[in-house]
Amino acid sequence: MDNLFFRKAMGKFATGVTVVTTKTEEGIHGMTANAFMSVSLEPKLVTISIDNKARMLDKIHKSKKFAISFLAEDQVHVSMHFAGQKKSDEEIEFEEIHNLPAIKGALATIACEVTQSMVVGDHTLFVGKVLEIKVIDGQPLTFYGGKYGRYQPLENAI
């Protein structure tokens, strides 16, 4: 199976878009990620998957903490900025959650401490114990087939 086909097939799974942030003595670091999963209710655990070549990997290993921000539909410039696709013309604003930086204006921000990390192929999975959550109203940014989009609920469906 070739890599392009695998990526194309995985792109058929629509997701939201998050920015993972952390803070070390070198400062704040952010990275766009859609490999996010809610894992457990009791205890409250979530997982992110970070490329072993990403600068974020070493930062999370050092800080042992990270925040996740679920981006709103008007934050595509934030996603592109933290994916290294296009520098944002607007200044990126952070807000604090549990002493961690998160993206201001995100629909939800989640502060986590790392409980487990596991190298899986060319990525590392971090399991985070949820320390604090903040939520605001709004519409999510989506990602499907390699393109950003909006969420459209179906009428007459539960």
- Where on the chain is the footprint of ligand FAD (CB under 6 A)? 17, 28-35, 49-51, 54-56, 79, 81-84, 92, 143
What is the smallest separation between the CB atom of 75 and ligand FAD, expressed in angstroms? 12
Nearer CB in complex with ligand FAD: 49/117: 49
Nearer CB in complex with ligand FAD: 22/130: 22
φ and ψ at residue 107, rounded to 5 degrees: -65, -40
Dihedral of alpha carbons 44, 142, 104, 20, sign: positive
What is the smallest separation between the CB atom of 157 and ligand FAD, expressed in angstroms? 26
- Dist CA 150 CA 18 (whole Å): 14
Nearer CB in complex with ligand FAD: 86/115: 86
Residue nearest to ligand FAD (CB): 35
Nearer CB in complex with ligand FAD: 28/120: 28
What is the smallest separation between the CB atom of 124 and ligand FAD, expressed in angstroms? 9
